[in-house]
Amino acid sequence: MDGFNELDKHPSHPLWKLVLEQFDDMLVKILLVCVVISFALAYFDGHEDGGNLDITAYVEPLVILTILILNAIVGVWQESNAERALEALKEMQSEHAKVLRNGVYVNDLPARELVPGDIVELRVGDRVPADMRVALLKTSTFRVEQSSLTGESAPVNKTHHKIQQEDVELQGKECVCFAGTTVVNGSCICIVISTGMDTEIGKIQAQIQEAAMQDEDTPLKKKLDQFGEWLTIVIGVICLVVWIINYKYFLSWEIINGFPRNVKFSFEKCTYYFKIAVALAVAAIPEGLPAVITTCLALGTRKMAQKNAIVRKLPSVETLGCTTVICSDKTGTLTTNQMAVMEMIAMGDKAGSFRDYYVDGTTYDPSDGKVVGLGKKLDTNLTTIAEIASICNDSGIAAVSTEAGVAFSGHQFRAIGMPTEAALKVDLFL
């Protein structure tokens, strides 16, 4: 046994490490040095003036320090949200399964206790708890919705026949049910072949974790690092030149017989001109740049979060803004992967006549829309339509934990079963 049938927990970064990562930037390091030097200059200037230290002397270093702290807070908050978002894959796993143990089916066996070789019964509305091989079909058709793996919205017909090709994509493995997918039609008996991180969804999580460990610098971060390196060199050279130019004010000597004599050195004046050079360096550093960049990126991240798009790294917002072409799957990405009834047609009062009823609403929420033109009482034709839509239907409207249907989760209803059948059943409640 290789452990429980569950995905590995993503190793979270400790808080102190997240904080240190926010200061791993050339420009931020320069500003930290400026903060220390500014505090030192303000302190020594206060003592030279008689020891009267005023809080106004520390305004500049305090402002820079506040900007850096706010920058770190925003970065840590964003990283924490992204870490929690990576745990969303675990929610795709089923909690219980109907498993054959000791010749008897156990209806509520914890899915984490499944092992390869277990015999499991799958029914409409069940979420597949592990990768399984279909052994026996109990209905004429058995369909599974596996858009979470393949991106294809159309349910896939599963069969117990062996695949002839060895190397085939996930969509073509018609005899295998994958963990995290949902049964939308029929029932069958399966044999568990893979559990935990050995499943296809486990491989996806492993790829996500590997990608998170190999983050590459964005174009913005590369340019900022390059700017910080050049700024450090230029400022360092200028300060050194300014300090050397004024050497005659703190260092003097006489040339006697070709050798310097009577060398005079003033430590006080040397320190004074060094402070001038340092002050020039502090003034040359754009301390407002990190604040502006962080604020702009944070605003972009907030707008994307309102659209249910989680940004793991703040600089990724700028990279996305530079993107000119995006190749994307349509279903579930550009569309909601939901079906909705738009119009009902029933027989009229006279032979050969028809009546149209238009339906409002585009979600599985029964309170989202209404049937336009519907009277208070249903006639025979509309009653027959409602009966057919209800009886010839494997979907339902109930909680996921109880039975198949449309489940409420995160302020949105989602279909358990065929999307078309769920749309018809929702239409009955309008």
Highest mean pLDDT among 32-46, 105-119, 195-209: 105-119
CATH of 15-88+216-321, one of 1.20.1110.10, 1.10.10.10, 3.30.420.40, 1.10.760.10: 1.20.1110.10
Q: Is the predicted pLDDT of residue 250 greater than 70, yes or no? A: yes
Q: What is the mean pLDDT of residues 311-330?
A: 74
**Residue 338 predicted with pLDDT over 70:** yes
Q: What percent of the chain shows pLDDT beyond 90?
A: 6
Smallest CA-to-CA distance from 313 within 224, 207, 226, 218 is with 218
* Mean pLDDT, residues 52-78 taken together: 74
pLDDT at position 161 over 80:
yes
CB 395 within 8 A of CB 415: yes
The pLDDT tens digits for 415-426 are 777 777 777 877
Q: What are the tens digits of pLDDT across the range 373-411?
A: 776 777 777 778 878 877 777 776 554 433 444 444 444
Residue of 155, 153, 183 whose CA lies nearest to 337: 153
At 326, is the secondary structure helix, strand, or coil? coil
Q: Check whether 21 has a pLDDT greater than 50.
A: yes
Q: What is the pLDDT of residue 251?
A: 78
For the ranges 30-44, 142-156, 189-203, the maximum mean pLDDT occurs at 189-203
Per the structure block, which two tokens stand in for 105?
């089916």
Q: Where do the structural domains in the chain lie, given as residue ranges?
A: 15-88+216-321, 94-207, 343-427
If pLDDT is split at 50, 70 and 90, which confidence band does 83 have? low
Residue 358 or residue 330, greater confidence: 358
Same topology, domains 15-88+216-321 and 94-207? Answer is: no
Task: Give the model's pLDDT for residue 304.
Answer: 76
CA-to-CA separations, 201 to 116, 147, 286, 403, in angstroms, rounded: 16, 12, 47, 24
Annotated catalytic residue: which of 329, 356, 360, 379?
329
Average pLDDT for residues 109-132, to the nearest whole number?
A: 89
What is the structure's pLDDT at 191?
93
Who contacts 114 (Cβ-Cβ below 8 Å, separation ≥6)? 5, 97, 99, 120, 129, 130, 192, 195
Decide if pLDDT at 356 tops 60.
yes
pLDDT on residue 50: 56
**What pLDDT does 94 receive?**
61
Q: Architecture of 94-207 per CATH?
A: Distorted Sandwich (2.70)
Which has more pLDDT, 90 or 27? 27
Which pLDDT value is given to residue 407? 46
CB 146 within 8 A of CB 178: yes
Is 329 a residue of the active site?
A: yes
Q: Would you list the DSSP string of 220-287?
A: HHHHHHHHHHHHHHHHHHHHHHHHHHTGGGTEEEEEETTEEEEEEE-HHHHHHHHHHHHHHHHHHS-T
Q: What confidence score (pLDDT) does residue 121 get?
A: 92
To the nearest 10°, report the CA torsion of 191, 195, 199, 201.
Answer: 120
Whether the predicted pLDDT of 189 surpasses 90: yes
Higher pLDDT, 14 or 106: 106
Inter-residue contact 158 to 227 (CB < 8 Å): no
Give the CA count within 13 Å in the CB-facing half-sphere of 61. Answer: 17
C-beta separation of 374 from 381 below 8 A = no
The strands making up 371-372's β-sheet, listed across from edge to edge, are 343-347, 354-359, 371-372
How much is the pLDDT for 332? 56
Q: What is the pLDDT of residue 4?
A: 81
User: Angle 92-96-100 (CA atoms, 0-180°, nearest 5)?
Assistant: 130
